Structure 1
Amino acid sequence: MSQTLKTRLAEDIKTAMRARDSGRLETLRFLQAAIKQREVDERTELGDTEVTSIIEKQVKQRRESIQAFESAGRTESAEKEKSELLILQEYLPQQADSAEVDAVIADAITQAQSEGAQGPALMGKVMGLVKAKLAGRADMSQVSAQVKQKLNP
């Protein structure tokens, strides 16, 4: 039986506590708090899909923070965010390679066009199809840029 992301996270928190790895422990506890907050807000038990979406959101926040800190010349803060980013990425599924992303985008465009989508609706339809196939496995902001490029050559 494979363990859920929440179970793995709880085990990794215990391991980080035993190892006295304060940086890792802080990041994992922050993630666990975000998961629990959403569970309380929605009054439901989250599955791996929902937990993955929370992790994706945390990863996106870290990437944005890294950019902001680097542009402001705050390298120490940027390095801390980078180390947190690496820890969070351990919990995401295997990242899709560029060939797979391109293939998924091409299939989604073909499918959306065959369903009659055009104009701005085409972009939305394509992104919906792509996100369903690549959730947690690709940076959606980069994928969105690729889709725009393919739709508007």
Structure 2
Amino acid sequence: MSRSQRKEDDPDLGILAGNILFGVQREMFRSLAEQGHPELRPRHGAVLAYLDENGSRATDLARQSGQHKQVIGTLVDELVALGYLRREPDPNDRRAKLILPTERGLDEMRRGDQIMAEIEARHRAEVGEQEYAAFKRCMTRIARLHRSSAED
């Protein structure tokens, strides 16, 4: 049996995680495009998925998303140019900048949260409430293991 056939018959964690990630991203960004946000790309999720309505620091977005601060800075620049974000001095630390959503950004955040809720509801309906809850608990534990090992 070929390696590709083995991977298809019994996909490993990387393949499964990739299939889920890419499938969710395709649906998310296709739906967002249909709802008035066609310029957004999956890479923007590293910022938009973690951004607080009342603002976030780039260092926090980098830590939460697992991306380098420079990558987050580039994505923030893109999202500012697209009209989704703005930068303001952080009232708690004048040396730092706070990244805030604009009205357009808030609209995307609300729509994105709703799309994700619909995706999760469909998955729960497919596999059952208890099985989906167990799946999320397991995925959360595994994600935390990888995050803690990356921080060491």
Query: TM-score if structure 1 supplies the norm length?
Result: 0.28
Between structures 1 and 2, the one with greater helix share: 1
Query: TM-score if structure 2 supplies the norm length?
Result: 0.28
